[in-house]
Structure 1
Amino acid sequence: MFAEVCGQQGPWALLLLWCISLSAADLSWPCPQKCNCRQDTLEVNCSTKHLTGVPEGLPNNAKRLDLSGNRLKTLSRRQFYGLSKLEDLDLSENVISMIEVEAFQGLKNLRFLRIKNNRLKIIPVGVFSGLSNLRSLDISKNEILVFLDYTFQEMGNLREMNAGENDLVFISQRAFVGLLSLQELNVDRSNLTSIPTEAFSQLQSLTKMRLRRLTISILPNNAFRRLHQLRTLQILQWPSLETLNSNSLIGLNLTTLVISNCNLSAVPYTSLRHLVYLRYLDLSYNPITSIQGNLLGELLRLQEFHLAGGSLLRIEPGAFRGLVHFRLLNVSSNRLTTLEESAFHSVGNLQTLRLDRNPLTCDCRLLWVVRRRFRLNFDGRQPTCSAPDHVRKREFRDFSEVELPVVFICRQARILDRQTQEASVDEGINIQFECKADGYPPPSITWLSPQQTPLSSVGRIRILANGSLEVRYVQVHDTGAYLCIAANAAGNDSISVNLKVRSFPRNYTSPYFSDEGWVETSLPPSTNSSEQVSNPYPFDAKTLVIATTMGFLSFLSSVAICFVFMFFWSQSKGQIKHTATIDFVPRTSMGGSGDGADTGRFTMKLI
């Protein structure tokens, strides 16, 4: 009968049947008031509806529930108990300050939970009970002060947790117990005063960690022990971080390390030396002034090195020697004037080079870069000459092949005055030897001692700022030939000077230089005690009188203090007799026994 009616009515009957089925479906999938529901995606959207509580009548088979941007204050126990199919729950940007224990009980299929930007100060143990299948948890931008022991113990499948931008001051040692699968952790902008090493050591599946805007000034030894699976460590925006201890990263097998926007003044070579799996190193925005030679060679797999926005003045020859896989160097926005080819193990492996925003001097030292200007990737930012003046502000790509031998040139270092310098002097005086040189680029001046050891700008024998050598308070063992070397990228030049120091006779009055400084004496110091003249009177008469007087005054002061103490002590003992009567029998002038003689008496007053 129904088929006959459909056949007679045609498409109108089909449309009627579709409307009836749609109405029945709507009746079976209720939607709370003020919320928007989509049955096709099983999504309930209650975002920014000014709700003060979780709405009632939520469909039991909903997979996504968005309650963000409302005015929720509290989540009660088993608040979402009937939503066993729920996979994604967003509670962000509310005013939640309290979550009761087992608030999420029953959400056995929940995968994503976001509670960021609320007012939580503490998370009681048991709040996350029942979330055994949770994969991602975001509790950032709250006011959480502490993570207690076993806070996350039932979240064995959690892979990612964002706990950044809280007021964290302490993480208990067992706070992360149970997070057996956690791979990524962010603890940003907290008030931690030390690395919670014991807590982190529970996260043995962790592969990525980000620590941003902490106030810790030093990274201690064994800071991340037991994190053998950690591959990416990001330490960002620690303005107080100045030092990494030598074993601070021990035990890690990192492939990516970022220590950016901190206060490191030098590359932490000793802390990095064991990171043989490291491929990506970023030390940008630190006040590092140089990259030394032959100290990164143990990072055998290093491919990228970033040190942008620093204070780099020099990259020494051999800085990247031994790095056979090195592909990218980013040293933009520094104070480099040049970058020599000798800094690299092989420039043929180099693919990307960022040299922009440096005051580059375009001479022979940069010729190797210009010749590769069409093959190297400058990441869209061409290097620019700052000197010499006639090529100032010109980009490398603007130079033609004809110009290269004319512009990118150097002139070998040459010592200007090659006149022989010899000096024969007595002990104790100061002397200087000059060494002036010319060349392009300006050569550096070094001096070698007679023992062929380099001299420095400090000490009794030192190199002055103008390149001269100064020997102060010359001594006999300073005798010898000193070598001045002027060097630049085009070559070296050298010249030697001779110094001869005459010693004084033993009976000659002369000053000498000792460990205590410059001493005036009639004889030089002697270690032979038999040659020393002993003085039978080590003190003069004036010294003896002063010492005796001071000793006598000290004695009188002590006696006076004792009498004063005895006087006050006697006053505290009650009634005191101030007179004493003494009877006595005087002797007879004849020397008798005195029997029957008159007795005498006198009275004595006590003070």
Structure 2
Amino acid sequence: MTARSAETARRCLLAFVLCCGLGALAVVAQKPGAGCPSRCLCFRTTVRCMHLLLEAVPAVAPQTSILDLRFNRIREIQPGAFRRLRNLNTLLLNNNQIKKIPSGAFEDLENLKYLYLYKNEIQSIDRQAFTGLASLEQLYLHFNQIETLDPASFQHLPKLERLFLHNNRITHLVPGTFNHLESMKRLRLDSNALHCDCEILWLADLLKAYAQSGNAQAAATCEYPRRMQGRSVATITPEELTCERPRITSEPQDADVVPGNTVYFTCRAEGNPKPEIIWLRNNNELSMKTDSRLNLLDDGTLMIQNTQETDQGIYQCMAKNVAGEVKTQEVTLRYFGSPGTWRALHRSHPDHLLLLSLHPSPPQNTEVLVGESVTLECSATGHPPPRISWTRGDRTALPADPRVNITPSGGLYIQNVAPGDSGEYTCFASNGIDSIHATAFIIVQGEHRVRVRATGSAA
């Protein structure tokens, strides 16, 4: 064999060995059950599946820390698509055809830090889409077709430092959309279709706060109106916008209810921007989320279904926007419980309620004989707790008589009734803030004819 032939044979052998080695590696990488999808490149805990025309998220090994799915044809992310990938640190989904992000799309990704979703066709994002991403630091959503954002979309991302939303179609942003992003360092909202009107003043204040703190950089530019096109949102002031303080156009009215009723408190307001309607009960803001019986209708009306005793109190509507706030008059919801109980609700301050109850029924006629005993029941509850007192018809104090006593519950007890006990008696309930009263008439008869006449009223 010549030297040239020997060299040729050596090169062929080397090429054969190299090809066999690469083939063996490929076989190992794609071995069924090894966690590497077909045609993907896998090295340790990194899986790269680029330019493969994939239309769905492939299954990968639970230990995967980097998953690269760029430049494919993925159109949707099914809820649970990344389930059990708790070690995933980086997820690249940019340059696909994703149109929406549903709730549960990133379930189990509790250690994910970097999420790339730019250059897709995303139009909508569910408010729970990013729930559970407690470790997320960077979120890239630029170059999509997003028009609106739910204000709750980013509230579960405490460690988010970078949020890119530029080059979308966002026209308006609801106040508070970025309130929970306490770790924010870079926010981009430029190159959108933002309308710079009174409704965007909250964002201008946020951007100014970022600039003053020096802890974060943010960019947002106006698209409309044309006179403000290209203007930085951070430079906008209320003086150059036509903002109107809210004004009430329809006020609520007092309401009386019995158990199980539905009651409506009307509240309508105008202003620029459109005011937010907030309802207060006993000077505390009502939460529609914690009680399914409460509903805020589109026109600002408060609807309370299946009314119960805890609903009674003082209600007030507040209309609020960036230009200011205004409140309606206070109104009272009076609750009349089961038959046999008469209640009168009285108030002089939102924090103080006084409730008077007469048992076992509203004041009514009764008969009592000379020498017998009679009890007029009167009990009261409220805040602060009320005290019970009784007077005779001319509002004079009860006589010092061992036959006459006030029971622990507040009732008036008279034993060994005499003819002189006939007359009007008034029960007063007072808590130092205000008072209410109820009146009853006792008529003492001789043998076998005794009649009690009673009436009730609220001061």
CA–CA distance in structure 2, aligned partners of residues 493 and 293 of structure 1: 36
2:365 paired with 1:365: no
CA–CA distance in structure 2, aligned partners of residues 85 and 334 of structure 1: 59
Change (3 A) 1:333 1:263: closer
2:334 paired with 1:445: no
Change (3 A) 1:279 1:172: closer
Pick the aligned partner of 2:173 from 338, 357, 376. 338
TM-score (structure 1 length as normaliser): 0.42
2:20 paired with 1:131: yes
Task: Assess if the C-alpha contact under 8 Å between 2:104 and 2:129 holds in 1.
Answer: no
Pick the aligned partner of 1:385 from 181, 202, 223. 223
Amino acid aligned to 1:367: A
Amino acid aligned to 1:397: R
2:44 alignment partner in structure 1: 204
Any residues of structure 2 matched to 1:416-427 within 5 Å, and which?
416-417=249-250, 421-427=253-259
2:116 alignment partner in structure 1: 281
Task: Assess if the C-alpha contact under 8 Å between 1:313 and 1:336 holds in 2.
Answer: no
1:329 alignment partner in structure 2: 164
2:298 alignment partner in structure 1: 465
Shift of 1:274: 1.6
Task: Assess if the C-alpha contact under 8 Å between 1:449 and 1:455 holds in 2.
Answer: no
1:301 alignment partner in structure 2: 137
Higher strand content, 1 or 2: 2
CA–CA distance in structure 2, aligned partners of residues 257 and 492 of structure 1: 44
CA–CA distance in structure 1, aligned partners of residues 292 and 275 of structure 2: 23
Change (3 A) 1:60 1:480: farther
Task: Assess if the C-alpha contact under 8 Å between 1:232 and 1:256 holds in 2.
Answer: yes
Task: Assess if the C-alpha contact under 8 Å between 2:161 and 2:183 holds in 1.
Answer: no
Amino acid aligned to 1:505: P
2:77 alignment partner in structure 1: 241
Change (3 A) 1:487 1:290: farther
Task: Assess if the C-alpha contact under 8 Å between 1:206 and 1:227 holds in 2.
Answer: no
Alpha carbon RMSD of aligned pairs, Å? 5.1
Shift of 1:331: 4.5
Amino acid aligned to 1:107: A
TM-score (structure 2 length as normaliser): 0.53
Amino acid aligned to 2:288: L
Amino acid aligned to 2:336: R
Change (3 A) 1:292 1:263: same
Of all paired residues, the percent bearing the same amino acid is 16
Task: Assess if the C-alpha contact under 8 Å between 2:280 and 2:317 holds in 1.
Answer: yes
For residues 541-584 of structure 1, what are the alpha-carbon distances to aligned partners after superposition, in whole Å with 9 as ceiling and x for unaligned?
xxxxxxxxxxxxxxxxxxxxxxxxxxxxxxxxxxxxxxxxxxxx
Task: Assess if the C-alpha contact under 8 Å between 2:281 and 2:316 holds in 1.
Answer: yes
CA–CA distance in structure 2, aligned partners of residues 341 and 370 of structure 1: 13
1:532 alignment partner in structure 2: none
Shift of 1:437: 2.2
For residues 448-483 of structure 1, what are the alpha-carbon distances to aligned partners after superposition, in whole Å with 9 as ceiling and x for unaligned?
667965126996542222111223454555433445
Amino acid aligned to 2:274: P
Structure 1 residues without counterparts, runs of 5 or longer:
1-28, 30-58, 62-81, 87-104, 111-129, 135-151, 159-170, 188-199, 507-607
Change (3 A) 1:494 1:404: closer
Change (3 A) 1:455 1:84: farther
Shift of 1:337: 0.5
Task: Assess if the C-alpha contact under 8 Å between 1:435 and 1:484 holds in 2.
Answer: yes
CA–CA distance in structure 1, aligned partners of residues 233 and 166 of structure 2: 22
SS at match of 1:437: strand
Amino acid aligned to 1:384: C
For residues 195-247 of structure 1, what are the alpha-carbon distances to aligned partners after superposition, in whole Å with 9 as ceiling and x for unaligned?
xxxxx9x863534334865455xx79xx4334445353448533353323573
CA–CA distance in structure 1, aligned partners of residues 165 and 6 of structure 2: 54
Change (3 A) 1:353 1:108: same
2:334 paired with 1:500: yes
Determine which structure has greater relative contact order: mean sequence separation of CA pairs < 8 Å that are 6+ residues apart, divided by chain length: 2
The count of residues paired between Structure 1 and Structure 2 equals: 326
Task: Assess if the C-alpha contact under 8 Å between 1:83 and 1:107 holds in 2.
Answer: no
2:32 alignment partner in structure 1: 173
Shift of 1:361: 3.6
Amino acid aligned to 1:454: S
Change (3 A) 1:369 1:482: closer
Amino acid aligned to 2:335: V
Structure 2 residues without counterparts, runs of 5 or longer:
341-459
CA–CA distance in structure 2, aligned partners of residues 289 and 229 of structure 1: 25
CA–CA distance in structure 1, aligned partners of residues 222 and 228 of structure 2: 5
CA–CA distance in structure 1, aligned partners of residues 184 and 39 of structure 2: 38
Shift of 1:367: 2.5
SS at match of 1:484: strand
SS at match of 1:406: helix
Task: Assess if the C-alpha contact under 8 Å between 1:300 and 1:324 holds in 2.
Answer: yes
CA–CA distance in structure 1, aligned partners of residues 280 and 129 of structure 2: 21
CA–CA distance in structure 1, aligned partners of residues 327 and 9 of structure 2: 86
CA–CA distance in structure 2, aligned partners of residues 398 and 330 of structure 1: 15
Shift of 1:434: 0.8
The structure with more radius of gyration: 1
CA–CA distance in structure 2, aligned partners of residues 439 and 241 of structure 1: 41
Pick the aligned partner of 2:229 from 391, 395, 400. 395
2:12 paired with 1:107: no
CA–CA distance in structure 2, aligned partners of residues 279 and 487 of structure 1: 38
SS at match of 2:202: helix
CA–CA distance in structure 2, aligned partners of residues 342 and 265 of structure 1: 17
1:432 alignment partner in structure 2: 264
Change (3 A) 1:358 1:471: same
SS at match of 2:228: coil
Change (3 A) 1:275 1:491: farther
Pick the aligned partner of 2:149 from 313, 319, 325. 313
Task: Assess if the C-alpha contact under 8 Å between 1:293 and 1:319 holds in 2.
Answer: no
Amino acid aligned to 1:243: P
Change (3 A) 1:498 1:245: farther
